Amino acid sequence: MCGINGLFAYNGPAVDLDELRRTRDRMAHRGPDGSGEWVGEDGRLAFGHRRLAIVDLTDSGIQPMASADGTIVVTYNGEIYNFPELRAELESRGCVFKSRSDCEVLIHLYRLHGRAMLGMLRGMFAFALWDTQARRLLLARDPYGIKPLYYADDGRCLRFASSVKALVECGAVSSAPDSAGVAGFHLFGNVPEPFTCYKAIRAVPAGASLVVDAEGVGAPQAYFSLARIYREAEDASPPQDVAESFRHSALDSVCAHMMSDVPVGVFLSAGVDSGGLLGLMRDCGQQSIQTVTLAFEAFRGGPQDESSLAANIARQYDAQSTIRWVDKAEFKNDLPKILAAMDQPSIDGVNTWFVAKAMRELGLKVAVSGMGGDELLGGYSTFARLPRIVRALGFLRHLPGRKAIGEAALALSQRAGLKLHPKSAGLLELGPTFAGAYLLQRGVFLPGELGEAMGDRDFAAEGLAALQPLAAIAQALAPEPRFDFGKVAVLESLFYLRNQLLRDADWAGMAHSLEIRTPLVDSVLVAQVAPLFARASTRDGKRLLANAPSRPLPASVVERPKTGFGIPLRSWFDGGEAIEDRLWSRHWLPRLAKSYLPPARRARDGAAPSATQALQM
C-alpha cells in the first residue's frame, strides 16, 4: 500500500522535480517505509512513490519499478491478490522476475497483453505505467475503486496523485471550487466521482483506465461493469447446493486477501460480516489473529454497545481481542487531525479513523474489514424499501407537476401541525423511479434544498446542472438488471460503497499507515455469487456468510437486529442523547462544509472559520 504521483509534460518543458517531491512527501503517511522517484530521459516525465511495505519487504520491491530493458516503468498503489497465479503463468511463458513484488506482474502482463491486462487483475489498485516505445502513459484503477487516483490537466502538463490534497497543496494546481463537487457533497454527504471539490481535479473512474500521450488526455475507458455482471447473472442457473457454492467462493476470496508478508488483523464488530470473515480466516489457516472492536463510552452498556458480543465472537475463533474505548475528550482532541487527513469532505469515516488508529497502536500494518457485505448480500433496508416505493408510486411516473404537488402537500401538512420528514416533499417527484427513489433514500439534502443549504442559489444551480444526479444514477444501472436485487446492489455499490465507505476507509486507514482489505468487495467474488441472489425475492445472504466458516457464527449474532455502526456525534457536539439519528446529518454536513470550502470559494463568502470553529457552530 502506497502513495503515488507523477507529472507528464506532454506539451511543455521539463517537469519541476521539486514539485514532484512536494506532492509525493505530502503523502508520507501513505508510505512511511521509504520513498522513490524516476525521471524520464528528456525530463518531461517523472514518477514519485511512497512505500508501505506489505509484500516483498526487501529493496527489490522499491518503486517506481522499471522493466529489465527500461522500456516500461510503473508506480503502483495496492495489492494484486492473484499475483502468485499470474506470476506462475508468466514464468511459464518465459518471463523472468527480479523481485517477489506484485508490482512486477504489471510490467510483464502489460508487455504481453497491453491494456487488456486490466481484466486479469484481482485486487485493489491504482497505477501509472509508462510505455517508452509508444510514448504513452496509462492510468488505471481497480473495478470497485478501492484505491484512489486523481489527475489535473492544464493542457500542457498532466499531474496525478493518490490524494486530492497533495495535488492542491503542491502549488501548481488551481484551487478554484467545483460547483458539481460541492453540490454532490451536499446531496450525498460525499463527493461523487469523477468530481472533486476542485474544478481542476478529477478522479480516474473506478474500473476504468485512460491514456495520455502527445495529443493530451484521452477519455476514460471502462473495463468493468457491475450492472452487466448482475444482468448476466439473472440468466445464469444457480448451483444446486447454494450454501456450498457460496462457502467456496467466500473462502477463496478471504484466502486470496491473506496475501501478506506481515500479520493481518481484523476490524471486528458484533455483526455477521466481520465475524464471518474472521471464521473464514481461521479456515484459511491464519494463526494468532488480532481483532479490534471500537466501543464508545456514550454507548457503554446500551443496545449500541457491541463490545461484549464482539469479544464472544473473537473467543469462538481463538482470536486475540482488543476493545478500544473512545470518549468525547479523545474525539475533540483528534478532530483537527481527522479533518486534516480527510482527503475529500465526508459525513462519515470517524469510526474508521479510530479503529485504524487502534490497530496501528498494536503495531499492525494490515487489517481486514467486513465492508461491502451489505451491498453484496442484501443487508440494507433499501433492498426492500426501494422496490416498495417504486411499486407504490410507479403509476405516477408520467404525472405532470409531481414536484409542485408534493411541495403543496407538504406545506399543507405543516400548516396542519403534522411533523413530517423534510424529504416528504420529494416523494411524489422522485419516488416513481429507481434513480429518484435512491436519491430520496440516500440523499442528505434534496436538489430543491441545495440553494439554501449551500448558501448560494446560483452556485447550487450551476452544480446541479453539471452533476445531473438523476441521470448519473440511471446511467449507473446500464445495462439495467431486470430484478430488484441487482438494481439495488448496483446502486449501493457504485454510490454509497464507492464514494463513501471505500473512500473513507482509504483516507482514514492511510492516515495511520494502515492498509484496509475488503474480501467482500471483490470483482471475482461478485461474479461468482451474483447468480445466487440476482433473481431472489428473499435475501438470505447474511445467513450464508454466517454459516460459511467451518465453525458457524452463533444464532445470537445471526438473529441480532441490524443496528449499523453508529458513533455518538450528536452527543459529542450538541450534548444530546447518545443515539444516532440519520436526520442529524442534515445539521452535521453544513458544519463540515464550512471547513472544506476551497480557498477561491471562501473568497466569495468572506474568511472561513477554522475547521474546529466551523464544527462547533
Task: List, as one string, the DSSP characters of 575-613.
Answer: ---S---GGGHHHHHHHHHHTT--HHHHHHH-PPPPHHH
Q: Which residue has the higher pLDDT, 564 or 552?
A: 552
Each residue of 49-73: pLDDT tens digit? 999 888 877 888 889 999 999 999 9
Q: Is residue 608 scored above 70 in pLDDT?
A: no
Percent of the chain whose pLDDT exceeds 90: 74
Residue 421 burial (CB count, 10 A): 11
Closest CA to 69 of 4, 140, 133, 134: 133
Between the CA of residue 246 and those of 243, 378, 523, 541, what are the distances in Å? 5, 14, 15, 9
Q: How far apart are CA 427 and CA 400, in angstroms?
A: 14
Q: How far apart are CA 33 and CA 513, in angstroms?
A: 9
Q: Is residue 146 scored above 80 in pLDDT?
A: yes
Between the CA of residue 469 and those of 387, 495, 519, what are the distances in Å? 19, 11, 30
Any idea which architecture 227-378+499-564 has in CATH? 3-Layer(aba) Sandwich (3.40)
Each residue of 194-229: pLDDT tens digit? 999 999 999 999 999 999 999 999 999 999 999 999
pTM across the whole model? 0.93
Q: Is residue 412 scored above 70 in pLDDT?
A: no
Domain with CATH 3.40.50.620 in the chain: 227-378+499-564
Helix (H) or strand (E) holding 22: helix 17-25
Least confident of 261-270, 461-470, 600-609: 600-609
For position 556, what pLDDT does the model report?
87
C-beta of residue 30 within 8 angstroms of C-beta of residue 50: yes
Q: How far apart are CA 529 and CA 543, in angstroms?
A: 14
Q: Which three cell numbers stand for residue 616?
A: 462547533
For position 609, what pLDDT does the model report?
41
In which region does residue 441 sit, left (phi positive, over 0), alpha (psi from -120 to 50) or beta (all else)?
Answer: alpha
Q: Which residue has the higher pLDDT, 581 or 120?
A: 120
Closest CA to 511 of 291, 372, 350, 390: 350
For position 423, what pLDDT does the model report?
74
Class of CATH domain 2-224: alpha beta
Residues sharing a CB contact under 8 Å with residue 276, sequence separation 6 or more, in sequence order: 250, 370, 373, 545, 546, 548, 549, 553
In which region does residue 78 sit, left (phi positive, over 0), alpha (psi from -120 to 50) or beta (all else)?
Answer: left
| 502, amino acid identity | L
| Buried-state track 564-583, b at ≥16 Cβ within 10 A, e below 16 | ebbbbbbbbbeeeebebeee
Q: Which three cell numbers stand for residue 606?
A: 468572506
For position 606, what pLDDT does the model report?
41
Q: What is the mean pLDDT of residues 265-282?
A: 96
Grid cell 487531525 is found at 337
C-beta of residue 288 within 8 angstroms of C-beta of residue 262: no
Q: How far apart are CA 525 and CA 531, in angstroms?
A: 11
Domain with CATH 3.60.20.10 in the chain: 2-224
Q: How far apart are CA 159 and CA 542, in angstroms?
A: 43
| 325, amino acid identity | W
Mean pLDDT taken over the chain: 90
Q: Is residue 191 scored above 90 in pLDDT?
A: yes
